[in-house]
Amino acid sequence: MSESATEFDDDAASGLVQEPRLWQGNGWTARVIKNEDDEGWAVAMIRDGEPEPALVGPWTMGRDKKNPKPLDTNAFHTLVKTAAEVIRRHEQQLHAILHKSTVVTHEGADIKVTLDIVPDDDHPYAQLTAQDADGERIAQVRVAASFKLSPASAAAWIENGFHTPS
């Protein structure tokens, strides 16, 4: 028996629901729902503890062309992989938005300047940090979350003695 089959057998033994339209296991719930946009069906993948689905996609019609195809172990396993990949890509995109960096050469030395945005609901801000080639912090200041990091803005900050940009 494969490792994934054992995982799902353990889920079934633990009392998790594994029905044609509702399947739980591996930290996820798949729910087949009526697609409100047309006459078809959709499947929603919800990670345990999350209020919203990570993925909602079309679901295959059954042989009677009226009811949805029932969920099974293989379909559920594929849906878990797909939903986890969607979350991973979202996290990568968010990281790219919140963390930027550039390298500026100043007086013959490379200085890495990073901007780390803290998305606080009430008072978002960012930390502008300069590091030398060894990764040692040279300076750090708090700036507006809207600060635009570019090689030119980093060079201007360095040339201004690392004072907080206006």
- Give the dihedral of Cα atoms 22, 26, 28, 32; nearest 10 deg: -30
Convert the pLDDT of each residue in 101-145 to its tens digit: 999 999 999 999 999 999 888 999 999 999 999 999 999 999 999
Q: How many whole angstroms separate alpha carbon 32 and alpha carbon 85? A: 20
On whether both 14 and 88 belong to a single domain, the answer is yes
Confidence category of residue 7, pLDDT binned at 50, 70, 90:
very low
Tell me the H-state helices in the chain: 3-13, 73-98, 151-159
On whether both 41 and 117 belong to a single domain, the answer is no
On whether both 85 and 146 belong to a single domain, the answer is no
Q: Is the pTM of this model over 0.75?
A: no
On whether both 83 and 124 belong to a single domain, the answer is no
Q: Examine residue 166 and state whether it is found in any structural domain, yes or no.
A: no
Measured CA to CA in angstroms, residue 97 lies from 28, 80, 119 at distances of 27, 26, 11
Convert the pLDDT of each residue in 30-65 to its tens digit: 999 998 777 789 999 999 999 999 999 999 998 888
Q: Examine residue 77 and state whether it is found in any structural domain, yes or no.
A: yes
Q: What local confidence, expressed as pLDDT, does residue 13 receive?
A: 53
On whether both 93 and 115 belong to a single domain, the answer is no
Question: The sheet that has 22-25: what strands, in order across it?
Answer: 22-25, 28-34, 41-47, 55-59
Structure tokens at 16: 């998790």
* Coil vs helix vs strand at 43: strand
* Residue position matching structure tokens 């201004």: 160
Q: Report the number of distinct structural domains present in the chain.
A: 2
Its domain, for residue 14, covers 3-97
Confidence category of residue 148, pLDDT binned at 50, 70, 90:
very high
The DSSP code for 64 is: T
